[in-house]
Structure formats: C-alpha cells, structure tokens
Structure 1
Amino acid sequence: MKVEKIAILGGGNGGITAAADLTQKGFLVNMFESQRFCKDLQFIKKSNQIAMEYKGSKSVEKINLITNNIEDAIKDCQIVMITVPGMGIEYFAEILAPVVKEDQIILINSAPAMASVRFVKKAKEMGIEKDFKIGETNSLTYATRAYVNEARVEISLKAGKVYLAAYPSCHTDEVFNACVQIYDCFVKADNVIVVNLENPNPLVHPGPTLLNAGRIDYTKGDFWLYKEGITEHTVNIVKAVENEREAVAKALDIQLEDTKQARINRGYFADEDKPLHELFNTSPVFQYIKGPASVEGRYIVEDISTGLVLWSDLGRILKVPTPNIDSIIILGGTLIGRDFYKEGLTLESIGLGHLKNKGDILSNI
C-alpha cells in the first residue's frame, strides 16, 4: 500500500501538529473536527493553514480538508490516525467503526491505553465484525504545543524511536508497512502488551506527582515536575516501578528498554553519564514542561488508571508482585477520592478476562 492521504481524528496538540507536519512531508491531510475531542479550530479553518516551527525552521502548511463529517474526513485515506487521550477511544470507535473500510489502516498515535483492543471490543458490542487493521504506539510521535488561536504549532521534538504493534499481532506487518511511510521513527513491537509496557508515562508521572502533591497544591500549578519534582530521592520510586514493570515483562519473555536508554533513543535525554534524576532535570525537552497544575490531572488519573492498573493486573495474573505500583494506585486514589482498581484498565475490563496465564496472553494478543 502506498500512503498518499491521511485522516486525522482528534484536534489537540498532537493532531494539529501531525496535520501540519504530514502536510509538509507531502501527504494530503484531512482533519476531522470532533465536538468532544478537538480544540476550537475556527482560526485554522479561516484559511485551512497552520504555521509550524521546528528547530528554528518556519513554514505555513495548507491542510487539504477540515470537516465535521466523518465519512468525508476518511474518504480515500489509506491511514486514519486517532490522536486523543485513552478515554476517547470508545467514542471514536462508535463513529469510525461503522464507516471505516477493512483495507484502511487505523493508527492510534498517543500514549497507549490498550486502545486498539478497546476499539475492537466496542465495535463488536455494536454488532460490527470487521477485520480491522488497527495499531497503537507507545507514545505520541511529537513533543509539541499547538496555539489554536494563532493557528500555529511549536514542535520541540520529533521522537526518534516509537514502538508500534497491531491488534491482533498478525496484522502488525501490514499496519507497520503503511505507517512507517509517514513516520520513519516507528519500530515494530511483538504485540500491544509490549507497547503498553513501554508506555513511558506511568513509569515517571504518578509516583513523583504523588510525592509532590503538597507542593502542587500550595503553588496552584506553579510547579515543574521534571525540573524540580524528580530529585535524588523521589527518583527512587521511578526506579522501583521500573523494576516491577521489568519483572512483569520478563514473565512474558519481553525485553524492555530501561528508563535512561529509552529516552536517549527518543531524543528526550542527552546521551550523558549522569544520575537519572539529573537527566530529567536537565533534559532538552522535559525541563521546559511545566506542571502538573493539579493532582487531579492526567499525571495521576490517566497514568494510573490506564497504565499502572494494567501493569498491576498483569502482575497478578502472572504471579509477579508489584508492591510499589500497588501503593501508588491506592494512595493516588485516596489522594483524590477515586478507586482506580474499579475504574482502571484490566484484562477483564477490556474483554480479555479469559486470558489466565502467559500462554493465553501471548497466543491471543
């Protein structure tokens, strides 16, 4: 399949940036304007243009189409790319599954949340039994900020390495061969379990955010987690979560990248021999990211519910202890009055409760 035309569903930082970047690369790009998961695109729609800046280079890119009609948005597109938080997947399954064709590739380009599995599950609940070609990444392909009222984006990083797998994994080659044409940073992963275990956010965000909760409350958001919240002591919770995540992966015969090397490979860390907390503090990307502004933001809510709860559940099934992960889940829930074990991702909640051991998981994903 030669990729020439792409639809982008989701008009946040990632979607708007992807529209400009992929247009610059020579692809025809359609944007779907969703009322639920889209910034106000009125300023972009005035001229269908997005100004883009990356590494000092500036350009203005003309978007092919911006529409609120899903069928028009995906018509004749080889790739339909969804760039929304994990909580939006069921909504997009509802509107996309009935109209997408089986030969169109669905790429979920965001922090992973077993989104491809959930998309297929939702479609089946709707009575749709298509052979979807759907894959998800372990991270958004950009570090970026979109200024919609100015119709412009500032890209601070294009990721150097991003994992991609399809669900089911028998479709990974087909999905990868299409998607690598638009992002050469993609690397094939064996399955979506690998992709979700390689999610960098649950590893780094919830623990240090929890340990800095008082500071976040006191400053009312005038806080920089990567620059000041990850210290020689708070980084130990990151290392503890990493060890437990690696133990879960090892029980599935999965080899993961370590925290430092993964971020060097993706461009977030300089390749320097420094302690881990200093690499976060001085990162050419992370040190400029402000926040979280609240303990009820995605660093706690999303990264626990769609990340740590899944890792804990895999540990339970595989009989791998995850005491530090479990502590963060419990205390994070106590902090903001939520039960993440009830609302978070488990194999049961995404329709895979019949997978009871390593063999079941590896042969059905």
Structure 2
Amino acid sequence: MKICVIGAGNGGQALAAFLALRGFDVCLYNRSEWRIAPIIKSHKIKVEGEINSTAEISFATTNLQKAMEGRQLLMVVLPAFAHREIAKKMAPFLEDGQVVVLNPGRTAGALEFYNALKEEDVKRDVVIAEAQTFIFASRASNPGVVKIFRIKNAVPVAALPSSKNAELEKTLLKAMPEFEIAPNTLYTSFNNIGAVFHPATIILNTGWVETTFGKFEFYFEGISQSVAKVLEAIDAERCEVARKFGIEPMTAVQWLSYAYDVRGSNLYDAIHNNEGYRGIQAPTSLENRYILEDVPTSLVPISAFGKLVGVKTPIIDSIIRIASLMIGVDFFEEGRNFKRLHLEGKTVQQVKQIMEVGE
C-alpha cells in the first residue's frame, strides 16, 4: 500500500516518518516549499522522543497531483479550518478506491469535506473519514526533525457515509491498527476532546502567553485547579449535546484513560498524571491552532448542534465570544456554523441522518 501524507507541520512530518518506519511507501505533500526543503533533498525525517530513529520516505513535494497519484491511503494532517480548501484542491486528482482520512476532523470535518467534493461534482468512488483526535502528541523543532511525546493507545475513526466503514477498516487498519472504527461521524465529532482542552486553556493563560511567548508547559502549568473547573464545564456541555444526538460520549477523564492509560478522580488530576504531556510548551501567541482551529471548527459547531437540540452551552459560547474579541474575527459567523455545513433548516433527525450517511 502506498500512502500520501498531506500537510507537513509537526503532525504530518511525524505521521509520515512513523508510517515509513513501518515499511510503507510514503510521500509527503506541503503547499509551501520552505517547510519541506530539507526533506525534498534528503528524503529523511528524524524522529525523537518516544521513537528515536531516522525515517526515509519516498519523496516530498509541493505538487499535489504527483503526491496523490496511485496512493491508496491519503492522510490529511492539516488544521481543520483548511479542510474545505484542501478538499477542493484534491478534487480533480482523486482516484477510485482511495481512502481520505482527516487527522483529525474536529467536529463535522468529514461533512465539510464531503460537501466540498459534492460542490466540485466529484464522481470518484472514494472513502471520506475523520479521526476523533490526532494519533500523536508531537512537535517539530526544525524541518525534517520532529519529536513524538506520546503515541495514543487508540483513536476512534469513522467514514461518511458510515456504510463505507468496512472499506475504511480494510485499508486504514492495515497501516495503523491503533485506530478503532467508530459507528459514525456523530461519534467522532462529538468526542472531540480538543474542544475541551485547547481554547479555554490558552484564553485563561493569555497574559502568560503574551508575556513569556509561551515559555511554560501548556498542560502542566497552564491547567491549574481553577482552569480545570472551566474545562470540566465545557466538557459537561459537550457531553450533554452528544447525548441528545444519541451518542454516549467519553468524558475528558474517561478519554485520558482510554488514550493514555492515566487515571484521576477529576480532570485536573488526570491531566497532571499524564506524562505524555510532559514538556509540551504553550503556543507563542494567541494566533495559533488552539484558537484559530479549535474555536471555529470545534466549539462553534458544538454550540450550533446544542441550539438545535435545546441544550444551552453558556461556557462554550463565552469562550467563542472572548476568542472572537481577542483575535478580531467573528467565529460564530466564520466558523463551522449550520450555514457553512449546509444544515440550516434541518430537523434533529435530518441532521443525524446527514452526519451518518451524508445525504
């Protein structure tokens, strides 16, 4: 099986190296050349942390058509706000039988990607899927050098429509048995843990981020007892919305046990018992994916789904409003709202049907 990793940030480089070390033929695509210039020349990615090795990939390129050609598995590792754009770029080059996995989809990522392909009138028989989270906690120190802090035990993934889950399983699990097939994208979307951990933590640490340029440990120092209480409130709102859609969610504490084998009587304890977060530094500014990705593509759709089912999400909504004020963007308007997801005017049952079968 030939694999293409689309996106060469810290996650994309880590995933390309990880798959190459497993013996797969892997290529790496990135829009800008500067990020992958050393890899284009050497075909090598150095991995540190939980794995210490140097992987050799087939090639790295800025030519998307070349990257996708003949590749059975297409692993998209881009911020979720880029899913619609990359779907439209990939549309002309998709081939029958290819499997596209969004790593991760955040909330309703597969639906946004699916809609974009429909708009481009793509007729190819492809599988579109979204992962609930990214498989690694990782950071890139330099182009071609990446550190994997921890490999998660398991990550749920589902196809849209869910009828293609068997095809997804046959292809994806051959390369990465760490993935577990979930019933549908309702499950992966509503178990989006990034929505809980990222936006509120950085907003409540804004002064420290801007004063120190992120020179503190995001999880261990940024999540105090009081910050953890806010995260627990966000988690409770997320879980209540999920239950209204017939999904029994994992709480954040349950997810930490599932993904990292850590325990805690509350969220603060569970996070601080997770050595997989040790050494992960905070972002250097507010303009980073913890806000620019997680607010519009995680919190905004969860809030929208909540309104549909009559669940109030005051804490989630307050984080969206504060982030909008700080960044100068109306995330309610610009994020994955129901208009952008083509869900305006739909009933709860219709939305559930669309999130499962895509129609």
Q: Give the structure-1-normalised TM-score.
A: 0.90
Q: Give 1:113 deviation, angstroms.
A: 4.3
Q: Give 1:111 deviation, angstroms.
A: 5.1
State the distance in 1 between where 2:178 and 2:298 align: 23
State the distance in 1 between where 2:202 and 2:47 align: 32
Distance 1:61 1:248, change over 3 A: same
Is 2:104 aligned against 1:110? yes
Given that 1:120 and 1:132 are in contact with CA atoms closer than 8 Å, whether structure 2 keeps it comes out as no
After superposition, the C-alpha distances for 1:57-80 in whole angstroms (9 at most, x for unaligned) are 533222112233323222222111
| Equivalent residue for 2:28, pick from 27, 31, 56 | 31
* Aligned position for 2:76: 82
3-state DSSP class of the match of 2:174? coil
- Between 1:100-109 and 1:288-297, the stretch displaced more is 288-297
State the distance in 2 between where 1:51 and 1:98 align: 33
The code of the aligned residue for 2:4 comes to A
- Between 1:340-349 and 1:139-148, the stretch displaced more is 139-148
| Equivalent residue for 2:45, pick from 39, 50, 66 | 50
After superposition, the C-alpha distances for 1:228-280 in whole angstroms (9 at most, x for unaligned) are 2211222111111111111111111101111112112212xx53445421332
| Equivalent residue for 1:15, pick from 6, 12, 17 | 12
| Equivalent residue for 1:142, pick from 131, 136, 139 | 136
* Aligned position for 2:237: 244
Is 2:221 aligned against 1:231? no
- Between 1:292-301 and 1:337-346, the stretch displaced more is 292-301
| Equivalent residue for 1:362, pick from 323, 334, 352 | 352
State the distance in 2 between where 1:259 and 1:319 align: 22
* Aligned position for 1:330: 321
Question: How do residues 168-207 of structure 1 correspond to structure 2 at under 5 angstroms?
Answer: 168-207=161-200
State the distance in 2 between where 1:275 and 1:322 align: 21
Given that 2:106 and 2:194 are in contact with CA atoms closer than 8 Å, whether structure 1 keeps it comes out as no
3-state DSSP class of the match of 2:96? coil
3-state DSSP class of the match of 2:176? coil
Question: How do residues 147-162 of structure 1 correspond to structure 2 at under 5 angstroms?
Answer: 147-149=141-143, 151-162=144-155
State the distance in 2 between where 1:49 and 1:99 align: 26
Q: Give the length in aligned residue pairs.
A: 355
State the distance in 2 between where 1:146 and 1:296 align: 18
* Aligned position for 2:335: 344
3-state DSSP class of the match of 2:175? coil
State the distance in 1 between where 2:66 and 2:289 align: 32
Q: Unaligned stretches of 5+ in structure 2?
A: none
* Aligned position for 1:310: 301
* Aligned position for 1:163: 156
Given that 2:256 and 2:262 are in contact with CA atoms closer than 8 Å, whether structure 1 keeps it comes out as no
Given that 2:137 and 2:277 are in contact with CA atoms closer than 8 Å, whether structure 1 keeps it comes out as no
3-state DSSP class of the match of 1:120? helix
Distance 1:70 1:334, change over 3 A: closer
Given that 1:348 and 1:354 are in contact with CA atoms closer than 8 Å, whether structure 2 keeps it comes out as no
Q: Give 1:354 deviation, angstroms.
A: 4.3
The code of the aligned residue for 2:285 comes to S
- Between 1:309-318 and 1:63-72, the stretch displaced more is 63-72
* Aligned position for 1:300: 291
- Between 1:344-353 and 1:57-66, the stretch displaced more is 57-66
Given that 1:165 and 1:188 are in contact with CA atoms closer than 8 Å, whether structure 2 keeps it comes out as yes
Given that 2:213 and 2:283 are in contact with CA atoms closer than 8 Å, whether structure 1 keeps it comes out as no
Given that 1:14 and 1:142 are in contact with CA atoms closer than 8 Å, whether structure 2 keeps it comes out as yes
Q: Unaligned stretches of 5+ in structure 1?
A: none
Distance 1:274 1:136, change over 3 A: same
Q: For the aligned residues, what is the CA RMSD?
A: 2.0
Q: Give 1:307 deviation, angstroms.
A: 0.8
State the distance in 1 between where 2:286 and 2:149 align: 25
State the distance in 1 between where 2:112 and 2:297 align: 12
The code of the aligned residue for 1:40 comes to R
Distance 1:301 1:147, change over 3 A: closer
